[in-house]
Structure 1
Amino acid sequence: MVVSHARTNNSLFYYKCDNIEFLKGCGQLYTEFDDGVATRQINIINNDMYSSSSLHDWNEDVGFLLYDGHIDSLDLSDSVPITQLEFENKWQEGIVANKSQINYLKGDASLPLEEQTLIIHVVNILGKWGKGFVLSLSKQFPFAKNEYVKWSKDKETFGLGEVQFVCVDQQRATFVANMLAQHGVRKNDKDHTTYIDYDALRLCLRKVARFALINRLSIQMPKIGSGLAGGDWEEIEKIINEELIYYKIKCTVFEL
């Protein structure tokens, strides 16, 4: 089993090629590399734009929309480095043309839909794991609970906005993200306090997005932060759209 924490990202590089050969002609290619791995790509041919962060995306004019490999195995002699801003401006054009959305399903978010899945949920800064979705999650993957409890004793890294990534099934590449975005815990049925910290949740989801992109993972979750944490789902959904869907990461929310 593998446990890691979100890293500070200083390994992002961007390249542009103006004369790339696709299946049905030449066009432009914009690629983002994170620690040498191609994480997002924009393919432009005949004024049509196809943006992707998934190895499964394919188009009959372009071919596969994301390079499956490491930057070291690429010939970038025809490419030029570009800024993150230039890439993001072009990416935003692409997501407007090919909008993604959250997939909603009924069921238990602790049961992975497929291999290469990241299950994300909100945990509190008190080190308490006891009610709600965590009961189902710890039944499926007790290692995720054990690592959270162990992490809660580390005062240097255990704080709002931090994320603990736990590999719970190496063979199926299944991970759990324990996201520290909740101040306290609900005391009783009459307690209507909002314990979710929206800023911390946003910061957690940014780290989740990078982890999912570089490890080629889809994401699934319960309606995070809107149950015992007392958050407003409309506000949380907006943050999910801005921090996960923006990157075209496959994202499924389970409703009981």
Structure 2
Amino acid sequence: MRMKITYVRGDATQPIGPGPKIIAHVSNDSGGWGAGFVVALSRRWPQPEAAYRQWYRDGTNGGFALGAVQLVGVEDGLWVANMIGQHGIRSRARTTAPVRYDAVDQALASLAERALALSASVHMPRIGCGLAGGRWAEIEPLIGHRLTDQGVPVTVYDLP
């Protein structure tokens, strides 16, 4: 069942609608957590940051790598998906954006399987387009192909 992405003005840490929900975001592969959307996540729940930091410490033995997804329960029927889709962090000296579209694509494919298994909708800001430096014109088709085309409802939030 092909669906369309729903765009709303609002806060992705307060997902709307009925049923189970997953809040998805893109993280880096260097263990950094403290800027961008993750700040808002950490204000609401400590679990996603704690789980990400432990996952990073566990390294590849724990499955931490570009394209990987970690689902963290934060409330009954609500999870946060830490998706590793960014290589390193943005700096003034860096000439290329840290986003890795192939890793985001791989993470979204895994996310789709989990969302379908949980009968969950997926909620997100414009992932990969903030500190990761990606372009929405590149990310949006990946979300369509991996999630909405597979029948996963997706809501994208833009802050007012």
Pick one of 108, 119, 122 that aligns with 1:219: 122
Radius of gyration: which is bigger? 1
Aligned partners of 1:124 and 1:185 also within 8 Å = yes
Counterpart mapping for 1:139-178 below 5 A: 139-155=43-59, 156=61, 157-170=63-76, 173-178=77-82
CA distance in 1, matches of 2:26, 2:81: 8
Counterpart mapping for 1:111-126 below 5 A: 111-114=14-17, 115-126=19-30
Counterpart mapping for 1:173-184 below 5 A: 173-184=77-88
Pick one of 103, 109, 114 that aligns with 1:200: 103
State the TM-score, normalized to the length of structure 2.
0.92
Structure (1 or 2) with the greater helix fraction: 2
Match of 1:137 in 2: 41
Shift of residue 227, structure 1, vs aligned partner = 0.9
| Identity in percent | 41
CA distance in 2, matches of 1:128, 1:211: 25
Give SS of 1:152's match.
Answer: helix
Q: Deviations over 1:181-213 (max 9, x none)?
A: 10011225x866311111111110000000000
CA distance in 2, matches of 1:132, 1:246: 28
| Gaps in structure 1 of 5+ consecutive residues | 1-50, 52-94
CA distance in 2, matches of 1:135, 1:178: 13
State the TM-score, normalized to the length of structure 1.
0.59
Shift of residue 108, structure 1, vs aligned partner = 1.1
Larger RCO, structure (CA 8 Å, separation 6 or more)? 2
Structure (1 or 2) with the greater strand fraction: 1
Give SS of 1:131's match.
Answer: coil
